[in-house]
Amino acid sequence: MAGEAEAPRREQVGATFQKIEEELLRNRPGGFGRLRLPQFRLMCDIVEADLAGCPAGAQATELRNKSYEAHCARSVFLRALQAVSGGEESPPGVPGAVWYWLRRPLFGLLPRWWYGWRHRRRMTRKGSWYRAWAELPEGGTDFFANACRLTVGAPGAARRKPIVDVLLRALLADLERAFRHPRLSPWGRRRRHRVVLVFPQPPVGDDDTGWLLEQFPRAVEQTGCTGVMLVAAVRPGRERTESFAEAAITLKSWIGTTGAAGARVVRVGVEPHADDEDAARWLSRYPEIAVGRGRSDVAPRVEAAVAAVAGVTALGLLGGYVVTVVTASSDTSCLGGSASSSGASPGAGDDGGGRSRPPDRSPRAVYGDVVKAITQQNKEADKAARSGAVVRTVGYLGVPVTADNWGEAKYSGAIPEVRGIALAQEEINEQADQQKNSKVWLRVRLMDAGEGFTRAPAAARALAKEVRAAGRAGGGEEFLGVVGLGQSRPGTLSARDILAGAGLPMIGTAATAEEMQRSPMYRQVAPDNHREARVAANFARHANIVQTAPGTCAPARKAVVIGDPTDIYSANLSDRFAEAFGDVHRIWYPVQRPSAAPPPKRKGQGDEWVSHTSQMADSICRRLKEEPRTVVYWAARAHEFENFLDDFDSRTGCNGQSTVLGGNDLDNAVVEQQRPSEKHLKLRLYYAAQALVKDSPPNVKGDEFRRRYAAAYGSDLWSNDARVPLASDALDVLSEGINAAYQSAGTAPFGRGGVQSALEQGVGGAEGLRGATGSLIFGEGAKVPVNKRLLILHDTRDAPPEIALECGIRDSGDEAKTWGPRSAFDCPRDQDDDGGDDEGGDG
């Protein structure tokens, strides 16, 4: 520390500490980085502050302001803020005064307050060196008020001692922090060298060095500094001296001498002697000083640059994502366009333009044509059996068509389902004819389940009796399974249990209630209500579907759920949507049917029960007036939907202005028959579906299936009905299980047990089976396909429905995982939930 400081003399700080600061900043090793001395510079600013003429009550504030001004002189950022904040006087003129009073608190007063608060907390918190040195009380004292005593007092040594004390302790605290600071900085991680303070000249006169040397051990103890060593020359006689040998012993004892925070203090006075042989031998071995490899500033700068680029890139990506989400959420355009949109949609209808209508023939005649096609395929199978082909029988348990007019038959899913069965049987038998050694021909037996599946238990008992009789007779197992069970009704559940008791594997078509899965012999191609409800709730929460002004829409805040507690499908879907959406009001509308059980107990407090659609319409209108951003979730059956819309238009004060999100029972054929958007001009209707006549991007198996449908039936009311491909997929899954059992058995007999085992393992393996409604991936023991494809369609007035949401696996390796404008929202996926959850159509 020889020589004078180069900077202008600071009288109160003194030349010694000025020189120490200059040398510390000048003699940093390579790779050390910038040395920050915030506490030392704060105390320097305080002792240099001139509070002459300041009232006694304002000295603490004045000291804070003066130290802040000194700090601003060293900070480019704070000087810029001061420049922006303006001067102390308000400029003339109203605009200037307004700007002055707005900018001063933000750019002037706030940084000054923050500076004072930060230093008060740092210097007076528990464990701080200043609190120990100043002996501050437990309750705490304002730092600047206490520090005022350093700026006043008698001149000379009495005043210098406390100044030297605080400057030394502040300096040691900053040096310790430089090495103990979290190593996020690339420079901080490279700091290996500690600090050595060397005073080669003995202190003279009023030099601060003498008092500094006396206070150094105690300051190290108080600050816990472990990184500073002091070497000083003193005049002889000032303290006891040791020989080199004695000094070595003393230095060795340093290891066991610890102070506050692990600091180690040892004071050794040495007077060298040239003839000290013991010292010479010891110093030839100890102490060894490991210099270490030299470091440069290049490495930390490169690391900092790489980290900065990586950070900017990450922030840019995150910012882009946030902007996308915010933009999507702030977008007020209605999803799916206006209800009067006339443009073609991705899910075009019969001819890409108009609506389809029922055939001119009676429903019974149309159904009879499909029955004839299945009968013809059964004859082809019998013929193949006589030629030695492997042929087995499966059953289709569904609702036949008995009505002669479309008014009674328009809600029945019998025609689309049996058409899907017929097309699948034809394709399966064609493949069996081509691959005789690995494929099995199928006969299909149509089984009458009756209206609402009321006759399904009787049909199941008759089949079970037949199967058991064949087993007792010792014949082979010719009847291998059942498809269909397309409605979640009490009769369906009863038939399922009877068929399971007979050991018959079952593949459901359009039933979606979760109760259907409670049998080891049952699985389905239509995903269940749990998944559909999650997707629908996600859609309602994020999609702009509720109209708030002409051409402006927003997501729903609340929902009114319409359900039938006597209907297994409706009650399950209602419960699941209420769980997923949250803020709902439920209206129960029990529809009495011959097969309906007695009215159930009330499902929850606050639920509303109505006996007519007019009461339902009045209640919904009241809630729409309370919260316009309310969506109606229709979880009931489709046959009451038209009555509700008529009552809502004609009997309420809402003038037909509503947004309805329909469950899967509102399928394409029903919507095309009722034409709600044509008849109710202020209605916005969205509903769940699993297939369309045209998809973008295409599904390979779906395209092939639609070509087969068009060749067999042309373009009609059911071209867009999801129950057609669902039924086809169900028979394909059962056929795949039968083929797997046949191939595993080799030349040995095979039967229902082998088919069930193949289905439990998951047909198609990890990739699943390509289906007309999307890939069918069954995990081991799974009842429903994983992440099955689901669409939510927007009904338009003059055009076919358009896709508003698509989620799920379209084809092998092709899954829609996001939806919405710029794909802003994630699709709910089965892997996100332990229970698995899928969608479906409960026809």
Of 120 and 106, the structure prediction assigns the larger pLDDT to 120
* pLDDT tens per residue, range 25-55: 887 777 677 788 888 888 888 888 877 777 7
Going by pLDDT thresholds of 50, 70 and 90, the confidence category of residue 766 is confident
Comparing 521 with 286, which gets the higher pLDDT? 521
CB environment 528-545: b (16+ within 10 A), e (fewer)? bbbbbbbbbbbbbbbbbb
The whole-number pLDDT of residue 616 equals 95
CA–CA dist 674, 153 (Å, integer): 97
What confidence score (pLDDT) does residue 175 get?
A: 83
- The answer to which of 116-120, 236-240, 607-611, 641-645 has the lowest mean pLDDT is 236-240
User: In this model, does residue 338 exceed pLDDT 50?
Assistant: no
Check whether 379 has a pLDDT greater than 50.
Answer: yes
Burial (CB count within 10 angstroms: exposed 0-12, middle 13-18, buried 19+), residue 708: middle
Give residue 253's pLDDT band: very low, low, confident or very high (50, 70, 90).
low
pLDDT the model gives residue 12? 77
pLDDT at residue 458, as a whole number: 97
**Where residue 123 falls among pLDDT bands split at 50, 70, 90?**
confident
Helix axes 414-434, 363-386, angle to 10 degrees: 20
Q: What's the mean pLDDT in 68-73?
A: 84
Share of the chain above pLDDT 90, in %: 40
Calculate the alpha carbon distances from 792 to 127, 670, 819 in Å. Answer: 63, 15, 11
Tell me: cis bond preceding 697? Omega within 30 of 0 counts.
yes
- Assign 206 a pLDDT band (cuts: 50, 70, 90): low
Directed axis angle between helix 414-434 and helix 700-713, to 10°? Answer: 110
Confidence of residue 788 (pLDDT cuts 50, 70, 90): very high
Confidence of residue 172 (pLDDT cuts 50, 70, 90): confident
Side-by-side strand order, sheet with 441-448: 441-448, 391-398, 479-484, 506-508, 522-524
pLDDT reading at 226 higher than 90: no
- Residue 251 confidence (pLDDT): 63
At 238, which amino acid appears? Answer: R
- Report the percent of the chain where pLDDT is more than 70: 78
Mean pLDDT of the chain: 82
Band the pLDDT of 701: cuts 50, 70, 90: confident
Residue 840: predicted pLDDT: 37
Residue 22 binned pLDDT confidence (cut-offs 50, 70, 90): confident
Q: In whole angstroms, what is the distance from residue 803 CA to residue 337 CA? A: 11
Decide which of 231 and 122 is more confident: 122
Tokens of 98: 């307004």
pLDDT tens-place string over residues 551-604: 899 999 999 999 999 999 999 999 999 999 999 999 999 976 444 444 455 555
How far is it, in rounded angstroms, from Cα 223 to Cα 132? 9
- pLDDT tens digits, 608-636: 999 999 999 999 999 999 999 999 999 99
Q: Do the Cβ atoms of 678 and 797 come closer than 8 Å? A: yes
pLDDT of 170 over the 90 cut: no
Residue 352: pLDDT band by 50, 70, 90 thresholds?
A: very low
Read off the pLDDT of each residue in 189-204 and give the average, rounded to a whole number.
Answer: 72
Higher pLDDT, 290 or 508: 508
Between residues 85 and 757, the one the model is more confident about: 757
How many Å apart are CA 535 and CA 710, to the nearest integer?
Answer: 31
Helix 244-252, helix 277-285: angle, nearest 10: 40
Cβ burial of 264 (10 Å; 0-12, 13-18, 19+) is middle
Residue 544 has pLDDT above 80, yes or no: yes
pLDDT band at 159 (very low <50, low <70, confident <90, very high): low
What local confidence, expressed as pLDDT, does residue 243 receive? 67
> For position 516, what pLDDT does the model report?
95
Residue type, 394: V
Q: Which residue has the higher pLDDT, 344 or 583?
A: 583
Sorted by sequence, the CB contacts under 8 Å of residue 47 that are 6+ apart come out as 12, 13, 150, 151, 163, 166, 167
Instruction: Work out the end-to-end distance of the chain between its first and last CA atoms, rounded to an integer number of angstroms.
Output: 93
Q: Is residue 713's pLDDT more than 50?
A: yes
Q: What's the pLDDT tens digit per position in 747-758?
A: 889 999 999 999
CA distances for 89 relative to 69, 73, 92, 809, angstroms: 17, 20, 9, 69
Looking at residues 357-361, what average pLDDT do you find? 80
Q: Is the pLDDT of residue 798 over 70?
A: yes
| Low-confidence winner among 65-69, 534-538, 576-580 (lowest mean pLDDT) | 65-69
Report the pLDDT averaged over residues 152-158: 58
Task: Give the least confident one: 201-210, 318-327, 415-424, 557-566.
Answer: 318-327
Secondary structure class of 738 (helix, strand, coil): helix
Question: Which tokens in the block code for residue 635?
Answer: 């979880």
pLDDT above 50: residue 839: no
pTM over 0.75: no
**pLDDT for 343 beyond 70:** no
Query: Under a CB-based contact definition with an 8 Å cutoff, are residues 816 and 791 in contact?
Result: no
User: Across residues 490-511, what is the average pLDDT?
Assistant: 96
| pLDDT score of 716 | 84
Of 347-351, 470-474, 483-487, highest mean pLDDT: 483-487
Q: Which residue has the higher pLDDT, 811 or 738?
A: 738
CB atoms within 10 A of CB 837: 25
The label of the residue with tokens 């071995």 reads 285
Contact indicator for 63, 111 with CB cutoff of 8 Å: no
Q: What single DSSP character describes residue 591? A: P
pLDDT of residue 417: 94
Confidence of residue 832 (pLDDT cuts 50, 70, 90): very low
Q: Over range 122-129, report the average pLDDT.
A: 84
Which pLDDT tens digit goes with each residue over 126-140?
878 888 888 888 766
